[in-house]
Structure 1
Amino acid sequence: MSTFESPAGWTRRSVLGGLLTVPVAGLVNGCAPTSTNEHGGSDGRIALVYRGPAGCAGCSEILAERLSRPPLGLDVAFIGPREQVPLEASALSGAALYAQPGGGDDISGAAQSFPSDFIRGLRDYIGAGGSYLGICMGAYLAGSEGFGLLDDSVEGEVGVPGFPVEDSSDQVVAVTWGETLRWTYFQEGARLPADGAEEYAHYETGDLAAAYYRCGDGNVGLIGPHPEADVTWFEDADLVDPDGDDWQYALPLVKRILS
């Protein structure tokens, strides 16, 4: 799919449907990474992108690719239970960003796959001025049922009156990014809390699809749909993208949390 390769034998679609079969461990309470940026333009800022059982193959890799390319040009490393950067609180020291990509549909199971010490360390990192980017499952995990970065739980948009999607299938939905209406990849996307939100995108229902939140001295950016999805995602899901790549419309929020 990209410069960042998925683990052998995994496909994005199989993992999306199979998170519940992945063993999870740990209890939830309320190292210098290796750069993988091969595109130049880095200003030395390090982004840690989670890759492991709480994510889906392809989700971590495409997000890493997006973050590493201009205009962001971050030095990206994967962090996870089987990655060179271990899933330990100490690994967050010095990172400009921790990014949690999409995953399955079991929020509590995903949260339980993280060591409790790491979750506490992540909250400390954000509270002390760190930055968190959560997309789809990453947005859900920011809520009270996951990492506890927000006081509120993060709910889903599927089934909301007036929203056209009523199941967990891959779809293309209308999302207004700022003033621009775009057709954006969606799969069980989050409906974000309005309390404390700086708004960046809305679904056609008016519910929040992307938003910025202040967490202590840190920054939290959450996105419900998948603006990072590239053409291969649409091809794999037999979907047509009427208006092309959407990542540029998510960039204002990503830049906001990195500022």
Structure 2
Amino acid sequence: MATLLQNSPSHFRTKFVGPDGDETLSAATLATAVVYAQPGGGSLDPAWRKMRKYAAIIQDWVRGGGTYLGFCLGGYLAGATPGFALIPGDTNSYTDTAQATVKTTDDTIVTVRWRGQSRHMYFQDGPVFQLRTGASATVLATYPNNTTAALATTYGRGRVGVVGPHPEADQSWYSDADITNPDGIRPDLGYDLIETTLHLPVSAPSPTPSRTR
């Protein structure tokens, strides 16, 4: 994901934060950032046990004008039960939705419609985003059962972009999983998510802080 951000049209300089990162995850660190990107990997409940202590810091920073990007597990964490409650709704596993085309948690390929075009993406038990009725969001991609696979929205004066599949997957991911993307390895969907999120107009009032679980 760092490579995707570095090579995007915005050409970000990236740092890793956390116990083994370049810096600690703190309000002071986030104050120096434009984007906080939460990657995939692992399961939601254990991830939340590690991340819940940072929830208020992340919420406050995004509410004040920061941008959160969540890929797969990072998308789950943008939901509310459990999570940072950054999107106007919640998340669920795509494999658990009605008429899902993927029923395995193994690494595989999923078909989505991204801005109306059929595309294939790397997928491993990614989320579906369930928006509240009337919620304001830009839906970038849907799964074949018309559930939401990627979206961009606002949170206070900040912005949030989330995606269930993995637009950041490079050739090594496909080689390790012994799968092939019929479209080839193309980062354009990841760039679209990043740039669309960054340039969303922000006009909504700040949301009421949610209670972290």
Partner residue of 1:183? 120
Are 1:108 and 2:48 counterparts?
no
Q: Match for 1:166: what amino acid?
A: K
Aligned-pair distance for 1:148? 2.2
| Structure 1: gaps (5+ residues) | 1-62
* Contact 2:89/2:129, CA 8 A, preserved across alignment: no
Partner residue of 2:76? 140
RMSD over aligned Cα, in angstroms?
Answer: 1.4
Aligned-pair distance for 1:181? 0.8
* Contact 2:8/2:191, CA 8 A, preserved across alignment: no
Q: Using CA pairs under 8 Å that are at least 6 residues apart, name the structure with larger relative contact order, 1 or 2.
A: 2
Aligned-pair distance for 1:70? 4.3
Q: Following superposition, which runs of at least 4 residues in structure 1 exceed 3 angstroms of deviation?
A: none
Aligned partner of residue 204 in structure 1, secondary structure: coil
Aligned with 1:170 (options 107, 129, 149): 107
Residue-pair matches, total: 195
Aligned-pair distance for 1:151? 5.2
* Contact 1:191/1:224, CA 8 A, preserved across alignment: yes
Aligned partner of residue 77 in structure 1, secondary structure: coil
Superposed CA offset, 1:203-255 (max 9, x none) = 11111000012111110000000111111111100101111124202322211
Separation in 1, partners of 2:186, 2:8: 15
Separation in 2, partners of 1:147, 1:115: 8
Separation in 2, partners of 1:182, 1:76: 28
Q: TM-score, normalized by length of structure 1?
A: 0.72
Partner residue of 2:202? none
Partner residue of 2:66? 130
* Contact 1:200/1:212, CA 8 A, preserved across alignment: yes
Aligned-pair distance for 1:256? 2.0
Mapping 1:1-259, distance limit 5 Å:
63-105=1-43, 107-114=44-51, 116=53, 118-144=54-80, 145-150=82-87, 152-195=89-132, 196=135, 197-259=137-199
Separation in 1, partners of 2:10, 2:185: 16
Change (3 A) 1:230 1:152: same
Separation in 2, partners of 1:250, 1:177: 11
Q: Match for 1:175: what amino acid?
A: V
Separation in 2, partners of 1:207, 1:246: 23
Aligned-pair distance for 1:72? 2.5
